[in-house]
Amino acid sequence: MDIVFIEGLEVDTVIGAYDWERGIRQCLRLDLSFAWDNRPAAADDDLSKALDYASVSARIQAFAEASQFQLVETFAERLAHVLMSEFGIPWLRLKLTKPGAVPAAKGVGVEIERGCR
């Protein structure tokens, strides 16, 4: 299977387990890879047969805008479910970084893979 990817997508959302985090919005950075058969889109030069990374990015922005989870694990899991069900994605890898959460670290977060390639 081929891959369509989105790298370094920044969204802001309510995220965090501590009281002080519940009333602010914070940035999350997302790196995503999706399994997709790119041959039909390439053969016909047809966006409607491609996994449209612009539409997927817009959906992720809307999801982040509306969500207010405590854990990055929950954000990642729910987002993976939304993307797979709405776009018909059979497999994805999602890396979610919460920059600044641990000041001494460049980034912390989670990485998940769901579905079958």
Q: Are 84 and 47 in contact (CB under 8 A)?
A: no
Q: Which stretch binds ligand LV4SOB2L (CB under 6 A): 31-39, 47-55, 65-73, 79-87?
A: 65-73
Site membership for ligand LV4SOB2L, residue 72 (CB under 6 A): yes
Q: Is 98 a catalytic residue?
A: yes
The owner of tokens 């891959």 is 3
Site membership for ligand LV4SOB2L, residue 101 (CB under 6 A): yes
d(CA 35, CA 61): 21
In this chain, which of 8, 18, 54, 116 binds ligand LV4SOB2L, going by CB under 6 A? 18
Site membership for ligand LV4SOB2L, residue 58 (CB under 6 A): no
The residues assigned a catalytic role are: 98
